[in-house]
Amino acid sequence: MIKSPVVKRSIVIAGHKTSVSLEDAFWDALKEIATVRSATLSEVVAGIDASRSQGNLSSAIRLFVLDHFRTARAA
């Protein structure tokens, strides 16, 4: 059986525990963004969760990470 590259982790958002499934590369990128912003992982994910209009949280995080690095590269 092939091991899935997706890793499920628990995170607390606005006082509520939830599970998020992301590939390791996205978890690493999210941690990097949190460090640059002097924020916790939970704070960054809470912001993503609050600003999404549709879709699931995992997809919203992937799009946020992609947008972050695209914007940084363009600057």
The pTM score is 0.87
Q: Dihedral of CA 22/19/31/28: which sign?
A: negative
Structure confidence at residue 1 (pLDDT): 53
Interval 53-69 mean pLDDT? 93
List pLDDT tens digits, range 1-41. 555 588 899 999 888 999 999 999 999 999 999 999 999 99
Q: What is the reported pLDDT for 3?
A: 59
Question: What is the C-alpha separation between 1 and 17, in angstroms, rounded?
Answer: 30
Rounded Cα gap, residues 2 and 27, in angstroms: 20
